[in-house]
Amino acid sequence: MTPFLSVVASVVAWVGAMLAAASLAVVGPARLRAAWRGLRGRIWDARRAIALLCVVLLASAVGRGSLQTVSRLFGVQATALIYALEGGFVAWVQATFAAPALTAYFSWVYVYGYAFLLSFPVIAYLALPRTTALRRLLVAYALNYGIGLALYTLVFAYGPRNVMPDMVTPLLFTNQPDVMLLASEVNVNTNVFPSLHTSLAVTVGTFAVLTREAFPRWTPLAVPLSLSVVVATMYLGIHWLTDVVAGFALAFGCVALAYRLVDPRSDPVGSRSDAAEERSEAGADD
């Protein structure tokens, strides 16, 4: 097995195990059984949101290289401006808090925890009898990626580990060098403003709070994990504080817009019977 495939296999194994455990603990066996029986219908109900997300991800994958060239030639050269705004904040974070245990934790969070954080809500919201939360989540994901890609094109900037190599250590790659193989396939070192790790993690955390009545066990897990991802982006020397602040703004804006775009009244009337069945079965899990 090549090093790249080994990294991918490790991520799949870790995330798969976490998804299985969280599905049983947070969603519950009865809801999972009900979701499985109605899976085809729920996917069909969410087909437009799924298609939108797929189109945005495909556009990002296909156009990333070309748009990066456009950004380099015509984008706003923001590295010096960001550095002038915050100086050595990220260097201070590393100098003050860096420790082997924290480095191991934040490296794990940045790769494995982040993948789990984005994946689990899809399973959880598929288990709900109505698809409103699922469709809003997928639309919010698509908005994050789409707006993020546009901003990456408009703003050309290097991260702190590239600007201050003598002060900021790329802790993720020194702790897990094989992860560089995976990172190089999905990102480049000038895709820093805004931090999509931050925006997507905060998006999930915000949805967890907004849907806490449906999954009360998910919120106290999702919020600390999403904030850990935010801290990891700076602790590992990948993003500036400015990128993180922009990521928060992007997340809240995308969630608000997703709620405006996805009307709960557009859920199929037929799902009411599913809701009654789900409520009766869910009682067995409590």
Residue 269 pLDDT:
43
Residue 182 pLDDT:
61
Q: Cα angle at 215 between 214 and 218, to 5 degrees?
A: 155
- Which residues of the chain fall below pLDDT 70? 1, 3-4, 175-190, 265-286
Cβ-Cβ contacts under 8 Å for 259 (sequence gap 6 or more): 136
Residue 189 pLDDT:
62
Asked if residue 218 lies in contact with residue 26, where contact means CB atoms within 8 angstroms, the answer is yes
Residue 186 pLDDT:
56
Residue 278 pLDDT:
45
Residue 245 pLDDT:
96
Q: What is the pTM of this model?
A: 0.88
pLDDT tens digit string along 256-266? Answer: 999 999 987 66
Cβ-Cβ contacts under 8 Å for 208 (sequence gap 6 or more): 121, 215, 218, 219, 221, 222, 223, 226
